[in-house]
Structure 1
Amino acid sequence: MFPLDRRTEFQIGGTWTDVSGDVRESEPITIERGAKSESAKAGPSKCTLKLNNRHGKFSPRNPLSPYYGLIGRNTPIRVSVKGPESYLRVEGNTSSYARTPDHNSLDITGDIDVRVEVTADWYGTASQSILGKWDSGGNRRSYLLRIINGLIILNWSVAGTATLLAQQVLPALPKRAALRATLDVNNGAGGFTARFYWAPTMDDPWVQIGDPLSATPATSIYSGTAPLEVAPILATGVTPLTGRVHRAEVRNGIGGTVVANFDARAQPEGTTGWTDTAGRTWTVGPDATVTDRQFRFHGEISAWPSRWDVSGADVWVPLEAAGIRRRLGQGQKALASTLRRRIPAFAPLAYWPCEDNDGATQAYSPIEGVAPLTVAGWRFGQDTTLAGSSALPAVEAGGSMVAPVPPPTGSSTQWSVHMVYAVDSAPGTDAEFLAWRTSGTVRRWRIIQRTGAATIEGYDGTGALLVDQGVIIGDDVFEGWQRFYFYVTETGGTVTWRLDWHNIGGAAGGIGSTYSGSTGRVTQIQTQFGASVSGLKVGHLAVLPVASTAAYTSADHGFSGESAIGRMRRLANEEAAQINLSWIDGDTAMDTERLGPQRPDKLLSLIEEAAATDGGILYEPSDRLGLVYRDRASLYNQPVRLALDYAAPGEVPPPLEPTGDDQQLRNDITVTRSGGSSARAVAETGPLSVEPPPDGVGIYDEAVTLSLATDDQPARIAGWRLHLGTWDEDRYPTITVWLHAAPHLFDEVLGMDIGDRLQISNPPPHLPPGVIDQHMLGYTEKLGLYEWPITMNCAPAGPWTVGVVEDTVLGRVDTDGTTLNGPMSASTTVANVLTETGLHRWIDSATYGSMFPFDVTVGGEVMRVTACIGTALSQTFTVTRSINGIVKAHASGTPVRLTHPMRAAL
């Protein structure tokens, strides 16, 4: 392992180039990731190193440099070390795959069993193909395993053309996991059955995902000639996998003969082909790579400062690279309103957001070739109450708007007109709200409203009234923001028209009918607002070549109510050119916290807002340039990723210094919904309560405003924040591991990531007894040739251990009203306990024998209760002493508490 095989690469001219020979070996490469302390949020990753530059090789403006014109600001960089095994790195494009030719053993028509072990983004919105014998273009479809948006899907075809599928929702998975799908083509009951499984690796026991999926009739699999592919590229409409493929198997029969056994783990780095143990010959695509590199940093180099000594003989570049968060946080303009961003994506013929600033005299259009909207009686930038919009204009009674509408490309038999509006009150007399001209049978359309009624009028070219449809309307179309949606479609000379009112964020309704003729096209917006209209606000006027409301749906209320991960997913899709964002979903059966409307702001700020509301961790990954969001649920009840032993040499070198400070202490918390109500949670009693010392610690208050969807959320979140802020346990700001002294921890440490859990057993006797249990929030590592220290920034994991219904440990409810009913010596194994009147007693072993044993804490000593006698408030425990290494005498009246009580998650 040492000297450490560290590698530094720059992306030069689109190719990753190894520059390790130019990195000074005398100094370590220093990498920082995540948060620097419990109270700080994760910032940009950082990497510092020194490059030799005696020949000006790394001076971007030096024309003699071989990299002249190829390096400069934000040149990508990555740093890696040699890992324990190889894998196939696939990039998600059509040149990144592994393939073996068709073989008769792969032409399975009956029961099939496919297995893969991959490192992947399980919850991405793109459909990612993992393993398959599937050629869509050639109608050679046999079987295909893929994932999309937290689903695992098995596709198969009977004849190579039509597709069948079975799917299940994935559970919360670690980054590296094994998946398995089986298909029983004839289950003996006239149908087929598919089953899905997962495991940490393909060597571990399989856990079934969901229930078996059965349907009729029985099926079969097409025996085609397509090759078998890892990260298949011949499946159209499906993106090849992005990530790492470690292993893959195809078996003829469920648990049957292995007919393909892809295994990249033992292949040397750079291997482009091999024959597996089943006899299949694999070829690696040009953009796929067999590698054993474990990446510790991905970032960008923003500057190349050249430095030299007084002699000029020693020249170097002290390089400092940073993750994408640095660039995203600098000088980026705010994203426009959700309506302004969404509507142009639907290719409108004309669109006027009307979000112009106060002082504007016309409304511009972001659609190329569309003239501005000429207005009169308008004052822009006056109303900000529509959640999906920036400030919109106020229009005087009798104001007007007019603009031409360009023709569609080609002929069309449908179109729609949309506008959002709000008025102070319903007009008492007929008032025009929206009107436009067309080239069809109806040449002019008008929407007229008054108190209790509305009319849609359509006039032909002579001015004759062809459409005159009235409708009774309620006050709800004058309460808050509304949206008009008017569309026409033509079939066989019959035109169908409809007008709908959408109460934004609420119900919809409308009227419609038909007439004989043609739709024509919209040629002009021409509206003279009624003189009786008071307090009118309008905006986001659009003409679309289709009869659809999709351009406005949810965007009109700023996507209020979408989950934190849902918002991140949508933003990542909308801004795919700017950011590569993935997420870890700790509970796929429940949504992350629901957010309020998305207001105009910077992309990074909007993502950070979603993360702050949900309460998870937003950080930069080490294996790519991008962002990862780890949701709050993924921090609950985590498995231990790194187990350290204080007594083992090198595993926990000094300093190991607990801190019982008040950095994160909060005992009086107010949470406010942005634009809504507030809730407060206060610790009234207890050692960390607002009571002054010695009964408490005094007031440590906090007030936060969050983007929340409803007014019932602040109370829950305030309670959870109070739970975190009053957790009474020491934190360990830094825990260090010397990998050069404890190389046996290499694999476990490389598997750690931000937010993961670590424990230290056998702490020194001067510290509290029991295992030290922490979350790693960030770290600093120094990659030297002969030294590799990693210093982790940590916080207690205890408050993230939450209740699990019916769990034998985490499913038990605690009591705060039980004490010892008499003293205990240091050696007795009997404890007499008394529960206060009005509280529930402890379970007795005669009735609830299957629920024993369980642990209680008495005066800092953990005891294991193996039996309990008595069904009244006075009971007798039989206990095993010193479970946590502490044993001592206890006085009568000492509190008795569950060691692992159920705590409600947020």
Structure 2
Amino acid sequence: MPLLVEMGWGGLIQAPNTITWTDITQSPDVVQGVTITRGASDEFSETQPGTATLVLDNADGRFTPGNTGSPYYPFVRRNAPIRISAYRIPVRTGAAPYPLAMLADDFDDERVNTTLWPNNYGGASEAGGRMRVPVTTAGSAAFQSAREWTLTGSRLTAKLVTLPQINGSSAAVASMWANSTTSGTRLGWRYNALTATLTAENQTAFFDGSAVSVPYSGIDHAWVRVRESAGTVYWETSGDGYGWTIRRSLATPAWATSQTLAVEFPTSRTGGTNDYAEWELVGAQVRPRFYGVVNEWPVEWEGLYSKVQISCTDLFKWLNRQPALKSVLAQEILAQDVAGVYDFLSAYYPLTEPADSLAAGDLSARGCGALVLTQAGSGGTLEFGGDGLAATGDTSATFTPSTATAGKYLAADLGTAFETDDANYLPMVSCWVKTTTASRAILGLFSANLDNQLIFGINSSGSLTVETTSDGTPPVVLPIAGTLTDGNWHHLYFDDAFKRIYVDGVQIGGTLSAASLSSLRILHVGGYRGTRLFNGQIAHVVISHATGPLGSTLAPLQYNAGTNAFAGETADQRIIRLARYAGLSSVTISGTTHDPVASQGPGGSSIVARMREIEATDSGRLWAQRDWYGITYQSRDVRYNPSPSSETFTIDYADLEPGISVADDDQKMVNQVDASRPGGATQRVSAPSSVLAFGPYDQDLDILKMSDNAVLDAAAWLVSRYANPQPELREVPIEAHTMASYLDILDAEIGNYFSVYNLPSQAPTPSMRVTVEGYTETIKHNSHSITFHTSASITDSVWVLDDATYSVLGSTTRLAY
């Protein structure tokens, strides 16, 4: 059965490096099979969330939510991580000696294959779809092959499923060896239960003085492999049997390429209680098919037979559940992170409350108190809902005092947790201000006993001042060059780690002679302790704590977010930025053509909706990865001019399943486009000959380009490709399991190519190259059927001077966009 199903019981999909996977492959109904759908139906459609459906045998109730008798209790719950893979067990062909990659067994028939393993000893057996080797005090035990294998240019792979336990022993070991003809000369992997280490060894006389050990991790070392290539042996581990990490390498020992080898999986124990080690999927070639979460666990019965039919969704479920985006500035503040520096958001007051509010709330989730409207003297106003930064769409708080000592300001007790953080970490303070009034205080942060004080002020010249004290004496006033009282918005950032101030994203002056602050707790905004009341607008007051400097990174980042919402960044940068807002760091960028895009716009949309805007703007492609918690963004140039060498596989028409057809209709026709961008012109691109021949096929295109010319180019690209679409294959059904190119077929991903050749004489051409847009597959016992949803690859071809294929007048003379 070419199927591997694993559950991440108790794990979180957003923390993939912490998931320990449990194999449940024995439970799915392999007659009904596992069905997986990914991608899109065609190139015009958006890729959809990937889905998987399968039926699990629930005879013992192990998949019943809330069942305390389940071995998986209490983790049979919605959003439990799941991953599904297919694998191929290579067939031994030809005559001995055989390459080690042909030593393959999935142990799924409950009896030992004595052709592969003729020399087993010590009670080694096959049980539950695994190789089971006793770890006993009675002596060694092992699965052992005949001496008929070669390592040159080949590999030995296995999954270590069950570890031997210490059980009071002074030694308990399970190993995988490629043995030479000399006893004790061997190379492979050894697991030591006493030290809980996995060791890559090249032994002579049963010893390796240069062995490389790693603390065993069931997450990272579930699979082990020894591989030889071009004179080097590599010891590798993997968490999924697909992606491998090299743990050791050295020049191939002479015996390893000159001798015929025997493979052995031995165990041994000294003292203690007996148990066993288990291995499985020896030699399996794994290909991930799905990575996501289980949506539900509906328990059903047919008489006394119980089953659970589960549906699963890939990473897009997680992304689609993210809350609506706040403004780009708010998102940058909430997602702040600086490489190599431990930092966290301690207090964040956007000051974007509705106009009738009497307090401002904290969004840091650190338990800080609200900024409460506070009166000094009499008179004056403080109103929320005023005009804010134009690029973000946020509002602000407007302070209008009667005098410098009569009016309203905001005050908050940030709490004991904040005070403790401030005693242990360095504070970073930032805000946005807009004013025309000098000699005022913007904000103040101080300890309960007033020993420590930090004040942002404006002096009589209209320049920023930073005032600090750490001993209760009057704060030292440090004037900063420049003018804040010009009626424009300005961003201020104080970095206590380096004692530096940044204004509008740029460091002003050098290191400040500021006091070292500690145990800050009380925050005043719009004045300081009832005096120097601010006259103007304030927004986005932020306090962070860190182990190192943040200003040089975060000050320009926040300034750009607040002033232009990152207008001009390229499409791939925008995708990575949006993913970061969801806490997603695994983003694969494919291709090199990524155009600048307009500003991110105001909040209110979802992360996925914003990503889709970029996908449409740049004619790219976005999808969730099938082997990891990550997404892929593919630029349009990846599809330019595919060559035969770039094809994932080719397939004879005779090897296809019934149902293939060539489509030639107007489903994709577009010969007239009205295109626009935010704040730009609306422009029309048309293909007159197509309009004359077929009538108008209109489409509106509203995209986030930076210029009207860029919009025009995008519209022209669309019309040039679809004014007269050529006949194409849109569905290609394959029974892949029986194909010699099985692994190549499984490697085909969205955006990849393959060709169907030897088409019937009635076809437009003898062969047709297609681009994969998506697929639906069903994996059953000894069956793996895949129907690829495809488009014509020629649609994305671009002009190449004097090229026989890509400079055909009127056909492939399309200019690249």
Q: TM-score, normalised by structure 2?
A: 0.64
- Residue matched to 2:491: 483
The CA deviation string for residues 176-224 of structure 1, in whole angstroms up to 9 with x for no partner, is: xxxxxxxxxxxxxxxxxxxxxxxxx978xxxxxxxxxxxxxxxxxxxxx
Task: Please give the alpha-carbon distance, in whole angstroms, between the structure 1 residues aligned to 2:607 and 2:544.
Answer: 28
Task: Please give the alpha-carbon distance, in whole angstroms, between the structure 2 residues aligned to 1:12 and 1:241.
Answer: 16
Query: Is 1:776 matched up with 2:772?
Result: yes
- Residue matched to 2:37: 32
- Residue matched to 1:586: 591
Task: Please give the alpha-carbon distance, in whole angstroms, between the structure 1 residues aligned to 2:278 and 2:574.
Answer: 35
Structure 2 CA distance for partners of 1:552 and 1:599, relative to 1, 3 Å: farther
Q: Is the 8 A contact 1:338 1:388 kept in 2?
A: no
Which amino acid counterpart does residue 599 of structure 2 have in structure 1?
G
- Residue matched to 1:615: 619
Which SS does the other structure have where 1:897 is aligned? coil
Structure 2 CA distance for partners of 1:74 and 1:375, relative to 1, 3 Å: same
Task: Please give the alpha-carbon distance, in whole angstroms, between the structure 1 residues aligned to 2:290 and 2:560.
Answer: 39
Query: Is 1:766 matched up with 2:762?
Result: yes
Which SS does the other structure have where 2:572 is aligned? helix
Which amino acid counterpart does residue 473 of structure 1 have in structure 2?
T
Q: Is the 8 A contact 1:251 1:259 kept in 2?
A: no
User: Structure 1 residue aligned with 2:786, among 772, 783, 790?
Assistant: 790
Q: Is the 8 A contact 1:580 1:627 kept in 2?
A: no
Task: Please give the alpha-carbon distance, in whole angstroms, between the structure 2 residues aligned to 1:768 and 1:523.
Answer: 77
Q: Is the 8 A contact 1:432 1:447 kept in 2?
A: yes
Query: Is 1:566 matched up with 2:568?
Result: no
Which amino acid counterpart does residue 702 of structure 2 have in structure 1?
V
Please report the RMSD computed on the Cα atoms of aligned residues, expressed in angstroms: 5.3
Task: Please give the alpha-carbon distance, in whole angstroms, between the structure 2 residues aligned to 1:245 and 1:726.
Answer: 46
Query: Is 1:244 matched up with 2:282?
Result: no
Task: Please give the alpha-carbon distance, in whole angstroms, between the structure 2 residues aligned to 1:390 and 1:260.
Answer: 71
Query: Is 1:363 matched up with 2:360?
Result: yes
- Residue matched to 1:372: 370
Query: Is 1:59 matched up with 2:68?
Result: no
Q: Is the 8 A contact 2:468 2:515 kept in 1?
A: no
Query: Is 1:326 matched up with 2:326?
Result: no
Task: Please give the alpha-carbon distance, in whole angstroms, between the structure 2 residues aligned to 1:316 and 1:513.
Answer: 68
- Residue matched to 1:656: 661
User: Structure 1 residue aligned with 2:343, among 333, 341, 346?
Assistant: 346
User: Structure 1 residue aligned with 2:741, among 740, 745, 761?
Assistant: 745
Structure 2 CA distance for partners of 1:563 and 1:782, relative to 1, 3 Å: same
Matches within 5 A, 1:209-248: 230=236, 244-245=243-244
User: Structure 2 residue aligned with 1:697, among 695, 698, 707?
Assistant: 695
Task: Please give the alpha-carbon distance, in whole angstroms, between the structure 2 residues aligned to 1:350 and 1:12.
Answer: 35
- Residue matched to 1:300: 293
Structure 2 CA distance for partners of 1:449 and 1:718, relative to 1, 3 Å: farther
Structure 2 CA distance for partners of 1:64 and 1:717, relative to 1, 3 Å: same
Which amino acid counterpart does residue 757 of structure 2 have in structure 1?
S
Displacement of 1:478 in angstroms is: 3.5
- Residue matched to 2:711: 714
The CA deviation string for residues 159-185 of structure 1, in whole angstroms up to 9 with x for no partner, is: xxxxxxxxxxxxxxxxxxxxxxxxxxx
Structure 2 CA distance for partners of 1:736 and 1:368, relative to 1, 3 Å: closer
Structure 2 CA distance for partners of 1:55 and 1:542, relative to 1, 3 Å: closer
Which SS does the other structure have where 1:623 is aligned? coil
Task: Please give the alpha-carbon distance, in whole angstroms, between the structure 1 residues aligned to 2:714 and 2:577.
Answer: 24
Q: Is the 8 A contact 1:681 1:722 kept in 2?
A: no
Task: Please give the alpha-carbon distance, in whole angstroms, between the structure 2 residues aligned to 1:445 and 1:610.
Answer: 42
Q: TM-score, normalised by structure 1?
A: 0.59
Which SS does the other structure have where 1:393 is aligned? strand
User: Structure 2 residue aligned with 1:6, among 3, 15, 22?
Assistant: 3
Task: Please give the alpha-carbon distance, in whole angstroms, between the structure 1 residues aligned to 2:245 and 2:496.
Answer: 55
Q: Is the 8 A contact 1:679 1:715 kept in 2?
A: no
The CA deviation string for residues 504-534 of structure 1, in whole angstroms up to 9 with x for no partner, is: 6xxx474679769877776654455699987
Task: Please give the alpha-carbon distance, in whole angstroms, between the structure 1 residues aligned to 2:716 and 2:51.
Answer: 35
The CA deviation string for residues 788-842 of structure 1, in whole angstroms up to 9 with x for no partner, is: 4321111121232235xxxxxx344xxxxxxxxxxxxxxxxxxxxxxxxxxxxxx
Structure 2 CA distance for partners of 1:28 and 1:527, relative to 1, 3 Å: closer
Which SS does the other structure have where 1:44 is aligned? strand
The CA deviation string for residues 477-518 of structure 1, in whole angstroms up to 9 with x for no partner, is: 533x3212346789xxxxxx765421x6xxx47467976987
- Residue matched to 1:644: 651
Task: Please give the alpha-carbon distance, in whole angstroms, between the structure 1 residues aligned to 2:672 and 2:811.
Answer: 23
- Residue matched to 2:138: none
Matches within 5 A, 1:260-339: 291-309=284-302, 312=303, 315-330=306-321, 332=323, 334=325, 337-339=330-332
Which amino acid counterpart does residue 797 of structure 2 have in structure 1?
T
Which amino acid counterpart does residue 647 of structure 2 have in structure 1?
V
Displacement of 1:5 in angstroms is: 3.5
Task: Please give the alpha-carbon distance, in whole angstroms, between the structure 2 residues aligned to 1:636 and 1:684.
Answer: 22
Which amino acid counterpart does residue 303 of structure 1 have in structure 2?
E
Task: Please give the alpha-carbon distance, in whole angstroms, between the structure 1 residues aligned to 2:3 and 2:515.
Answer: 75
Structure 2 CA distance for partners of 1:856 and 1:314, relative to 1, 3 Å: closer
Query: Is 1:539 matched up with 2:501?
Result: no
23-32 or 537-546: bigger deviation:
537-546
Which SS does the other structure have where 2:741 is aligned? helix
Matches within 5 A, 1:389-788: 390-397=394-401, 399-403=408-412, 407=419, 417-423=429-435, 426-427=436-437, 431-434=440-443, 445=455, 447-448=457-458, 453-454=462-463, 456=465, 467=477, 469=479, 473=483, 478-479=487-488, 481-486=489-494, 500-502=502-504, 508=506, 510=508, 524-526=522-524, 528=526, 536-542=537-543, 548-549=550-551, 550-558=553-561, 560=566, 561-570=568-577, 572=579, 575-576=582-583, 579=584, 581-587=586-592, 591=594, 593-594=596-597, 596-597=599-600, 600=603, 601-624=605-628, 626-638=630-642, 639-646=646-653, 649-651=654-656, 653-663=658-668, 665=670, 667-673=672-678, 676-678=679-681, 680-687=683-690, 691=691, 693-694=692-693, 697-706=695-704, 713-726=710-723, 728-739=725-736, 743-769=739-765, 771-785=767-781, 787-788=783-784
Displacement of 1:729 in angstroms is: 1.6
Q: Is the 8 A contact 1:420 1:541 kept in 2?
A: no
The CA deviation string for residues 300-344 of structure 1, in whole angstroms up to 9 with x for no partner, is: 3322334445xx255544333332323543475546722440459
Task: Please give the alpha-carbon distance, in whole angstroms, between the structure 2 residues aligned to 1:400 and 1:465.
Answer: 21
Displacement of 1:749 in angstroms is: 0.9
Structure 2 CA distance for partners of 1:571 and 1:787, relative to 1, 3 Å: same
Give the structure with the higher percent helix: 2
Which SS does the other structure have where 2:655 is aligned? coil
Structure 2 CA distance for partners of 1:900 and 1:357, relative to 1, 3 Å: same
